[in-house]
Amino acid sequence: MEQPSHIPVLLQEALSYWASDPEGYYVDLTLGLGGHSAALLERLPRAKLLGLDWDDQSLALARSRLARYESRVTFKQGNFATIDRILDSLGIQKVSGFLFDCGTSSHQILGRALGLSFQKDEPLDMRLSGTYSLSVAQIIKNAGESELIDILQTFGELPFSMVRRLTRAIIAARSSESLETTGDLVGVLSRVAGDRKIWAQVFQAFRISVNHELENLEAMLQALPKYLVPGGRIVGISFHSLEDRIVKVAFRSFQKDGYFQILTSKPVQALEEEIRLNPKARSAKLRAVEKI
Protein backbone atom coordinates (compact mmCIF):
# COMPACT_ATOMS: atom_id res chain seq x y z
CA MET A 1 0.00 0.00 0.00
CA GLU A 2 1.46 3.36 -1.03
CA GLN A 3 2.25 5.60 1.91
CA PRO A 4 1.01 9.21 1.77
CA SER A 5 3.39 11.94 2.85
CA HIS A 6 3.36 12.29 6.62
CA ILE A 7 5.46 14.36 9.03
CA PRO A 8 4.84 13.57 12.71
CA VAL A 9 4.46 16.77 14.73
CA LEU A 10 6.90 17.45 17.61
CA LEU A 11 8.44 14.01 17.04
CA GLN A 12 11.63 14.32 19.05
CA GLU A 13 9.92 16.26 21.82
CA ALA A 14 7.19 13.62 22.09
CA LEU A 15 9.73 10.79 22.22
CA SER A 16 11.74 12.50 24.94
CA TYR A 17 8.72 12.28 27.25
CA TRP A 18 6.97 9.16 25.93
CA ALA A 19 9.88 6.70 25.69
CA SER A 20 10.57 6.30 29.41
CA ASP A 21 11.06 2.51 29.76
CA PRO A 22 13.23 0.54 27.28
CA GLU A 23 11.17 -2.61 27.84
CA GLY A 24 7.80 -1.00 28.45
CA TYR A 25 4.37 -1.45 26.90
CA TYR A 26 3.17 1.67 25.09
CA VAL A 27 -0.16 2.80 23.66
CA ASP A 28 -0.51 5.16 20.72
CA LEU A 29 -4.09 6.31 21.14
CA THR A 30 -4.17 8.06 17.74
CA LEU A 31 -1.97 5.87 15.58
CA GLY A 32 -2.73 7.74 12.38
CA LEU A 33 -0.08 6.83 9.82
CA GLY A 34 2.24 5.53 12.53
CA GLY A 35 4.97 8.17 12.54
CA HIS A 36 5.36 8.58 16.30
CA SER A 37 5.05 4.84 16.90
CA ALA A 38 7.64 3.96 14.26
CA ALA A 39 10.11 6.28 15.94
CA LEU A 40 9.39 4.80 19.38
CA LEU A 41 9.79 1.20 18.18
CA GLU A 42 13.03 2.11 16.44
CA ARG A 43 14.40 3.80 19.55
CA LEU A 44 13.28 1.06 21.97
CA PRO A 45 13.89 -2.34 20.28
CA ARG A 46 12.49 -4.30 23.25
CA ALA A 47 9.35 -2.23 23.73
CA LYS A 48 5.86 -3.35 22.68
CA LEU A 49 3.00 -1.19 21.48
CA LEU A 50 -0.75 -1.05 20.97
CA GLY A 51 -1.67 1.13 18.01
CA LEU A 52 -5.25 2.42 18.14
CA ASP A 53 -7.18 4.38 15.54
CA TRP A 54 -10.87 4.72 14.71
CA ASP A 55 -10.14 5.25 10.99
CA ASP A 56 -9.83 1.86 9.27
CA GLN A 57 -7.93 3.32 6.30
CA SER A 58 -5.36 5.03 8.51
CA LEU A 59 -4.97 1.80 10.47
CA ALA A 60 -4.26 -0.15 7.28
CA LEU A 61 -1.64 2.38 6.20
CA ALA A 62 -0.02 2.30 9.63
CA ARG A 63 0.05 -1.50 9.60
CA SER A 64 1.97 -1.36 6.33
CA ARG A 65 4.37 1.26 7.66
CA LEU A 66 5.05 -0.69 10.86
CA ALA A 67 5.31 -4.10 9.20
CA ARG A 68 8.96 -4.50 10.22
CA TYR A 69 7.91 -4.22 13.88
CA GLU A 70 4.82 -6.42 13.53
CA SER A 71 5.91 -8.92 16.19
CA ARG A 72 5.88 -6.11 18.77
CA VAL A 73 2.71 -4.29 17.69
CA THR A 74 -0.98 -4.95 18.27
CA PHE A 75 -3.31 -3.02 15.97
CA LYS A 76 -6.83 -2.16 17.05
CA GLN A 77 -9.61 -0.14 15.47
CA GLY A 78 -11.61 1.83 18.00
CA ASN A 79 -12.45 5.14 19.61
CA PHE A 80 -9.97 6.19 22.27
CA ALA A 81 -12.91 7.25 24.44
CA THR A 82 -13.39 3.53 25.10
CA ILE A 83 -9.72 2.81 25.82
CA ASP A 84 -10.54 1.20 29.17
CA ARG A 85 -12.77 -1.40 27.50
CA ILE A 86 -10.20 -1.96 24.77
CA LEU A 87 -7.33 -2.50 27.21
CA ASP A 88 -9.42 -4.79 29.41
CA SER A 89 -10.49 -6.87 26.41
CA LEU A 90 -6.83 -7.35 25.47
CA GLY A 91 -5.79 -8.15 29.05
CA ILE A 92 -3.49 -5.12 29.25
CA GLN A 93 -3.27 -3.72 32.78
CA LYS A 94 0.18 -2.09 32.89
CA VAL A 95 1.19 0.63 30.46
CA SER A 96 4.46 2.57 30.45
CA GLY A 97 3.25 5.42 28.29
CA PHE A 98 0.25 6.78 26.43
CA LEU A 99 0.53 9.19 23.50
CA PHE A 100 -2.27 11.03 21.72
CA ASP A 101 -2.10 13.50 18.86
CA CYS A 102 -5.40 15.31 18.30
CA GLY A 103 -4.49 16.55 14.83
CA THR A 104 -6.38 15.55 11.71
CA SER A 105 -3.98 13.94 9.26
CA SER A 106 -3.44 15.20 5.73
CA HIS A 107 -4.53 11.72 4.57
CA GLN A 108 -7.95 12.25 6.17
CA ILE A 109 -8.27 15.76 4.77
CA LEU A 110 -7.03 15.09 1.25
CA GLY A 111 -7.55 11.39 0.70
CA ARG A 112 -10.93 10.52 2.18
CA ALA A 113 -13.39 12.96 0.55
CA LEU A 114 -14.96 13.65 3.94
CA GLY A 115 -15.45 17.37 3.43
CA LEU A 116 -12.95 18.36 6.12
CA SER A 117 -11.49 21.26 4.14
CA PHE A 118 -13.10 24.18 2.37
CA GLN A 119 -10.34 24.00 -0.23
CA LYS A 120 -11.93 21.01 -2.00
CA ASP A 121 -15.53 20.59 -3.10
CA GLU A 122 -16.61 17.33 -1.45
CA PRO A 123 -19.70 15.88 0.26
CA LEU A 124 -20.33 17.72 3.51
CA ASP A 125 -19.83 14.76 5.81
CA MET A 126 -16.84 15.17 8.21
CA ARG A 127 -17.53 11.93 10.09
CA LEU A 128 -14.15 10.38 10.91
CA SER A 129 -15.82 7.15 11.97
CA GLY A 130 -18.82 5.25 10.70
CA THR A 131 -20.13 4.97 14.27
CA TYR A 132 -21.64 8.44 14.14
CA SER A 133 -25.05 8.67 12.53
CA LEU A 134 -25.37 12.28 11.39
CA SER A 135 -23.27 14.01 8.76
CA VAL A 136 -22.65 17.76 8.87
CA ALA A 137 -25.04 18.17 5.93
CA GLN A 138 -27.78 16.49 7.96
CA ILE A 139 -27.04 18.64 11.01
CA ILE A 140 -27.17 21.82 8.92
CA LYS A 141 -30.43 20.70 7.34
CA ASN A 142 -32.23 19.83 10.58
CA ALA A 143 -30.68 21.75 13.49
CA GLY A 144 -32.54 24.63 15.07
CA GLU A 145 -31.10 28.11 15.28
CA SER A 146 -30.01 27.74 18.91
CA GLU A 147 -28.21 24.45 18.17
CA LEU A 148 -26.31 25.95 15.25
CA ILE A 149 -25.37 28.98 17.34
CA ASP A 150 -24.09 26.72 20.10
CA ILE A 151 -21.98 24.65 17.68
CA LEU A 152 -20.37 27.66 16.01
CA GLN A 153 -19.78 29.64 19.19
CA THR A 154 -18.60 26.77 21.41
CA PHE A 155 -16.48 24.82 18.94
CA GLY A 156 -15.57 27.51 16.43
CA GLU A 157 -14.49 30.07 19.04
CA LEU A 158 -16.10 32.83 17.00
CA PRO A 159 -17.54 36.12 18.31
CA PHE A 160 -21.28 35.92 18.97
CA SER A 161 -22.07 38.67 16.49
CA MET A 162 -20.37 36.71 13.73
CA VAL A 163 -21.97 33.44 14.88
CA ARG A 164 -25.43 34.99 14.71
CA ARG A 165 -24.85 36.34 11.19
CA LEU A 166 -23.46 33.02 9.97
CA THR A 167 -26.32 31.06 11.52
CA ARG A 168 -28.97 33.28 9.98
CA ALA A 169 -27.29 32.99 6.59
CA ILE A 170 -27.23 29.17 6.83
CA ILE A 171 -30.88 29.00 7.88
CA ALA A 172 -31.94 31.37 5.11
CA ALA A 173 -29.97 29.41 2.51
CA ARG A 174 -31.17 25.95 3.48
CA SER A 175 -34.78 26.87 2.81
CA SER A 176 -34.10 27.36 -0.88
CA GLU A 177 -30.69 25.80 -1.59
CA SER A 178 -29.07 22.38 -1.30
CA LEU A 179 -26.28 22.48 1.27
CA GLU A 180 -24.76 19.09 0.54
CA THR A 181 -21.14 19.91 -0.30
CA THR A 182 -18.30 21.96 1.13
CA GLY A 183 -18.65 24.28 -1.86
CA ASP A 184 -22.30 24.87 -0.98
CA LEU A 185 -21.37 25.80 2.58
CA VAL A 186 -18.51 28.05 1.50
CA GLY A 187 -20.89 29.83 -0.83
CA VAL A 188 -23.09 30.71 2.15
CA LEU A 189 -20.17 31.65 4.40
CA SER A 190 -18.67 33.93 1.76
CA ARG A 191 -21.83 36.05 1.77
CA VAL A 192 -21.14 36.91 5.40
CA ALA A 193 -17.34 36.83 5.67
CA GLY A 194 -14.58 36.79 3.09
CA ASP A 195 -11.95 35.85 5.68
CA ARG A 196 -10.85 32.26 5.14
CA LYS A 197 -9.81 32.03 8.79
CA ILE A 198 -13.49 32.35 9.70
CA TRP A 199 -14.37 29.62 7.20
CA ALA A 200 -11.74 27.38 8.84
CA GLN A 201 -13.25 28.04 12.27
CA VAL A 202 -16.71 27.11 10.98
CA PHE A 203 -15.37 23.87 9.50
CA GLN A 204 -13.55 23.17 12.79
CA ALA A 205 -16.76 23.71 14.72
CA PHE A 206 -18.79 21.28 12.64
CA ARG A 207 -16.01 18.66 12.63
CA ILE A 208 -15.67 18.77 16.41
CA SER A 209 -19.42 18.61 16.87
CA VAL A 210 -20.17 15.73 14.49
CA ASN A 211 -17.34 13.59 15.90
CA HIS A 212 -17.92 14.46 19.58
CA GLU A 213 -14.22 15.20 19.78
CA LEU A 214 -14.10 17.04 23.09
CA GLU A 215 -16.34 14.57 24.91
CA ASN A 216 -14.18 11.72 23.61
CA LEU A 217 -11.00 13.46 24.74
CA GLU A 218 -12.35 14.00 28.26
CA ALA A 219 -13.53 10.38 28.55
CA MET A 220 -10.19 9.05 27.35
CA LEU A 221 -8.14 11.17 29.75
CA GLN A 222 -10.16 10.05 32.75
CA ALA A 223 -9.63 6.39 31.84
CA LEU A 224 -5.84 6.42 31.53
CA PRO A 225 -4.38 6.88 35.05
CA LYS A 226 -5.26 3.46 36.47
CA TYR A 227 -3.36 1.66 33.71
CA LEU A 228 -0.08 3.53 34.12
CA VAL A 229 2.79 1.95 36.02
CA PRO A 230 4.80 4.17 38.41
CA GLY A 231 7.00 6.31 36.20
CA GLY A 232 4.55 5.89 33.33
CA ARG A 233 3.62 8.94 31.32
CA ILE A 234 0.80 10.48 29.33
CA VAL A 235 1.89 12.70 26.45
CA GLY A 236 -0.70 14.75 24.59
CA ILE A 237 -0.46 16.97 21.51
CA SER A 238 -3.34 19.36 20.84
CA PHE A 239 -3.93 21.89 18.09
CA HIS A 240 -6.43 24.42 19.37
CA SER A 241 -7.31 26.00 22.68
CA LEU A 242 -10.40 23.86 23.33
CA GLU A 243 -8.36 20.64 23.28
CA ASP A 244 -5.40 22.14 25.11
CA ARG A 245 -7.61 23.45 27.89
CA ILE A 246 -9.10 19.99 28.46
CA VAL A 247 -5.64 18.40 28.59
CA LYS A 248 -4.29 21.08 30.92
CA VAL A 249 -7.21 20.80 33.33
CA ALA A 250 -7.01 16.99 33.38
CA PHE A 251 -3.28 16.95 34.07
CA ARG A 252 -3.65 19.51 36.85
CA SER A 253 -6.40 17.39 38.37
CA PHE A 254 -4.15 14.31 38.26
CA GLN A 255 -1.37 16.23 39.99
CA LYS A 256 -3.72 17.66 42.61
CA ASP A 257 -4.79 14.13 43.54
CA GLY A 258 -1.17 13.46 44.52
CA TYR A 259 -0.35 10.58 42.18
CA PHE A 260 1.11 12.51 39.26
CA GLN A 261 3.56 15.26 38.51
CA ILE A 262 3.34 17.57 35.52
CA LEU A 263 6.50 17.43 33.41
CA THR A 264 5.73 20.45 31.23
CA SER A 265 5.24 23.64 33.23
CA LYS A 266 4.09 25.23 29.99
CA PRO A 267 3.24 23.55 26.69
CA VAL A 268 6.11 22.53 24.44
CA GLN A 269 5.83 24.08 20.99
CA ALA A 270 7.59 23.57 17.69
CA LEU A 271 10.75 25.45 16.83
CA GLU A 272 10.87 27.64 13.74
CA GLU A 273 12.82 25.03 11.76
CA GLU A 274 10.03 22.46 12.21
CA ILE A 275 7.35 25.02 11.41
CA ARG A 276 9.17 25.90 8.19
CA LEU A 277 9.15 22.22 7.13
CA ASN A 278 5.65 21.50 8.48
CA PRO A 279 3.46 24.61 8.90
CA LYS A 280 0.82 22.51 10.72
CA ALA A 281 3.22 22.31 13.65
CA ARG A 282 2.79 26.02 14.39
CA SER A 283 -0.35 25.47 16.46
CA ALA A 284 0.73 22.22 18.15
CA LYS A 285 1.10 22.16 21.93
CA LEU A 286 2.56 19.20 23.82
CA ARG A 287 1.92 18.49 27.51
CA ALA A 288 3.19 15.56 29.57
CA VAL A 289 2.45 14.13 33.02
CA GLU A 290 4.10 11.29 34.97
CA LYS A 291 2.69 8.86 37.52
CA ILE A 292 4.68 8.86 40.76
Identify the pLDDT of residue 46: 98
Identify the pLDDT of residue 199: 97
Identify the pLDDT of residue 2: 47
pLDDT tens for residues 14-42?
A: 999 999 999 999 999 999 999 999 999 99
Q: What angle do CA 272, 278, 282 make, to 5 degrees?
A: 55
pTM higher than 0.85 for the full model? Answer: yes
Taken in order of first residue, the domains within the chain and their CATH numbers are 11-107+214-291 (3.40.50.150), 133-211 (1.10.150.170)
Residues 123, 113 contacting (CB under 8 angstroms): yes
pLDDT value at 108 more than 60? no
More confident residue, 133 or 198: 198
pLDDT band at 55 (very low <50, low <70, confident <90, very high): confident
Instruction: Provide the percentage of residues in the chain whose pLDDT is more than 90.
Output: 88
Q: What does the mean pLDDT of the chain come to? A: 93
Identify the pLDDT of residue 215: 96
3-class secondary structure for 69-117?
Answer: HHHHEEEEECCHHHHHHHHHHHCCCCEEEEEEECCCCHHHHHHCCCCCC
pLDDT tens for residues 219-262?
A: 999 999 999 999 999 999 999 999 999 999 999 999 999 999 99
pLDDT tens for residues 146-159?
A: 999 999 999 999 99
CA distance 152 to 135: 16
pLDDT value at 110 more than 70? no
pLDDT value at 107 more than 60? no
pLDDT tens for residues 180-189?
A: 999 999 999 9
pLDDT value at 106 more than 60? no
